[in-house]
Amino acid sequence: MKSPGCPLCEGPGGAIVFQGDRFRVIRSAEAGLPAFYRLVWSAHVREFSDLAPADRHLCIDAVACVEEALRRHLDPVKLNLATLGNAVPHLHWHIVARFEWDSHFPGAPWAAAQRQVAPEAQARIEALLPPLEADIAARLAALPGNRTAT
């Protein structure tokens, strides 16, 4: 079920990494944060508790899959997980790999930028994104109870 006027119902919200029947994972173009991903639930629900128990398990397992892949491929200093939805009240998780050199570290991704990012540091991470995203897609497709969208 979609909600008119909701940007996450009306468009992908970023570059699609994985599209399933219940959720998608996208890479968001956030300046200074080259490994900023979102898991977006397909149905328009506002809160995590709106999901049926089996869907809650699938959702959190999917978030963990993305987090594990980011750790394995990028070796970030920290990973940030958040589900805010204050500006867009459609269930989505932010999964952000953080580095000491990123534009906002150690502040939140939504805080004011603290520095310019060195292009070579960002380029190193961007070069690792294609195999990372292939791994994410394969791991999500293999989750029990998940089906890819047709």
What is the rounded distance in angstroms from the CA atom of residue 105 to the CA atom of residue 78?
10
Instruction: Identify the residue whose tokens are 């999917």.
Output: 62
Range 94-102 average pLDDT: 96
Query: For the domain that residue 64 is a member of, what is the CATH number?
Result: 3.30.428.10
Q: Is residue 81 part of a domain?
A: yes
Tell me: the pLDDT tens digits for 109-128? 989 999 999 999 999 999 99
Do residues 133 and 17 make contact, with C-beta atoms less than 8 angstroms apart?
yes
Tell me: the pLDDT tens digits for 36-81? 999 999 999 999 999 999 999 999 999 999 999 999 999 999 999 9
**For residue 129, what pLDDT band results from cuts at 50, 70 and 90?**
very high
Q: Is residue 150 part of a domain?
A: no
Q: Is residue 67 part of a domain?
A: yes
What total of structural domains would you count in the chain?
Answer: 1
Instruction: Give me the pLDDT at residue 82, please.
Output: 94
Q: What is the pTM of this model?
A: 0.93
Instruction: Give me the pLDDT at residue 10, please.
Output: 87
Instruction: Give me the pLDDT at residue 149, please.
Output: 65
Q: Is residue 146 part of a domain?
A: no
